[in-house]
Structure 1
Amino acid sequence: MLIPIILSIITVLSVILALKKKRPLLLAVPFAALFTVALVKIIMVPMPFWETVQFIFNLRG
């Protein structure tokens, strides 16, 4: 429950800062944070990293 709240706060702050400072690059911060959280969650799986990634992409099938 804590992760969605933190990601929401990061998103709101980055949008506000991007509008105030007129730097559109700050809008990439929420995507980077989401990618980092997803990567950490994948790394936490007790399987080898590459097998976990292959398993995730095979779920579409």
Structure 2
Amino acid sequence: MIWVLILSLITIVSVVAGLRRRKVVYFFLPFASIFAFMLVKVIMVPLPFLDTVRFIFQLRG
């Protein structure tokens, strides 16, 4: 739950900064932080990295 709040805060702050300073870079920050979070969670799985990625993409539903 704390991660949802942190990612929400990052998103809100970066959108406000992007609108105020009119720079597109701030709008990519939420995507980068969510990608980094997902990457860390995949790395934490106790299987080899490529096996974990294959398993995730083989899931249907």
Compute the TM-score of the two structures, normalised by the length of structure 2.
0.96
Counterpart for residue 45 of structure 1: 45
Which runs of no fewer than 5 residues in structure 2 stay unpaired? none
The structural deviation recorded for 1:24 is 1.5
The structural deviation recorded for 1:6 is 0.2
Counterpart for residue 7 of structure 1: 7
Deviates more, 1:49-58 or 1:17-26: 17-26
The number of residues matched between the two structures is 61
Q: Deviations over 1:17-41 (max 9, x none)?
A: 0011110121000000000000000
- What is the rounded CA distance, in whole Å, between the counterparts of 2:35 and 2:5 in structure 1? 16
Which runs of no fewer than 5 residues in structure 1 stay unpaired? none
- What is the rounded CA distance, in whole Å, between the counterparts of 1:25 and 1:46 in structure 2? 34
Counterpart for residue 59 of structure 2: 59
Q: Which amino acid aligns with 1:60?
A: R
- What is the rounded CA distance, in whole Å, between the counterparts of 2:53 and 2:25 in structure 1? 28
Compute the TM-score of the two structures, normalised by the length of structure 1.
0.96
Identity among equivalent positions (%) equals 49
Q: Which amino acid aligns with 1:9?
A: L
